[in-house]
Amino acid sequence: MGTGARALRNEQRRPIMEKWECTVCGYIYDPEHGDPTTDVPPGTPFAKLPDGWTCPDCGATKELFELV
């Protein structure tokens, strides 16, 4: 198996976790850590956060976050 196929297989096992920054206070949502303050488990991508989720530091809504 070539290195390209091996890299693709590794990517399929562990998806890239994108970090998102609150544009109000600078909080970084890191999916690898989740959000223990609202019981969001580690491994939860930003897109899968509950609709009512807000920044744990300032209360900003998801719409006020930008991809880092």
* Predicted local confidence at residue 52, as pLDDT: 95
Helix (H, G, I), strand (E, B) or coil at 24: coil
Q: How far is CA 51 from the centre of its chain?
A: 14
* Predicted local confidence at residue 16, as pLDDT: 73
* Predicted local confidence at residue 28, as pLDDT: 98
Q: What share of the chain is helix, strand, coil (3-state, %, to 5)?
A: 30, 20, 55
17 Cβ contact list (under 8 Å, min separation 6):
30, 31, 32, 43, 45
Residue 34, number of CB atoms within 10 A of its CB:
16
pLDDT, tens digit only, all 68 positions of the chain: 455 555 444 545 556 789 999 999 999 999 999 999 999 999 999 999 999 999 999 999 999 999 99
CATH of 17-67, one of 3.40.50.300, 2.20.28.10, 2.60.40.1120, 3.40.50.970: 2.20.28.10
> pTM for the complete prediction?
0.76
